[in-house]
Structure 1
Amino acid sequence: MAEHYSSFERGGRRWLFQRLTAVFLIGVLAFHFMLLHFVNHAADITFAGTQARMGQWSYFATMWLFLVTATFHGVNGVYNALINQGISGSQKTAVKYVLVVAGLLLVAQGTRVALAMNGLI
């Protein structure tokens, strides 16, 4: 039988955060699909409506947390997939820092867009 291998340390923080972010993402995706695909149909979604939704602090906070959580979940998943494929040494370090910088840039740009849609900038 094949030996089980994972780059996650069992009981480690990254393992736990990967699972917690997955649960949060499933819930927020369900909310997103319900609100923007069933309550409001695609033809009814407008720029003004998006600005109105983002003007509500609870919706804004939920979408910003969705951005941060999805970014962490994706970056952490890619990093661990590459480790599982055998990347190590200086390549592992370079990939880690590239992914961290990419994740921070994504969150910064997403935050900028969310604040603009909210009317705060």
Structure 2
Amino acid sequence: MAERYSSFAPGGTTWLLQRITAAFLVVVLAFHFFLLHFVNHAADVTFAGTQARMQDVGYFLTMVLFLIAGTFHGVNGVYNALVNQGLEGAQRKVVLAVLVIASVALIVQGIYVAIVMAGWT
């Protein structure tokens, strides 16, 4: 039988965060679909409505946490998939650096857009 290999160390911090963000994303994604696809149908979702929702502090914080959790979960998953495929040495460090820089840029830009949408600029 083949030995199972994973770059996630069971019980490690990234292993735990991957699972916590997965659970959080499932709950918030369900909230998102319910709110924006069942309560408000696609034709009813407007720019003004989005601005109004973003002005609610609870909604704003939920969406910012959704952005951060989704970014971490996705990038961490891609990075570990690459490591599992044999990425190592200098290439591994370069890929990690690029992914971290891209993640930070995405989160900063996303938070900026959220702040503008909330009208807090």
Which residue of structure 1 lines up, in the alignment, with residue 31 of structure 2?
A: 31
Which residue of structure 1 lines up, in the alignment, with residue 64 of structure 2?
A: 64
Matched letter for residue 77 of structure 1 = G
Deviation, 1:103, is 0.2
CA distance in 2, matches of 1:108, 1:56: 20
TM-score (ref. length: structure 2): 0.99
What's the RMSD between the two structures over aligned residues?
0.4
1:35-71: CA deviation from partner (whole Å, max 9, x where unpaired) = 0000000000000000000000000000000000000
Matched letter for residue 9 of structure 2 = E
| Identical-residue share of aligned pairs (%) | 64
TM-score (ref. length: structure 1): 0.99
CA distance in 1, matches of 2:88, 2:30: 37
CA distance in 2, matches of 1:106, 1:77: 16
- The answer for unaligned runs of 5 or more in structure 1 is none
1:57-105: CA deviation from partner (whole Å, max 9, x where unpaired) = 0000000000000000011001100000000000000000000000000
Deviation, 1:2, is 1.2
Matched letter for residue 85 of structure 2 = Q
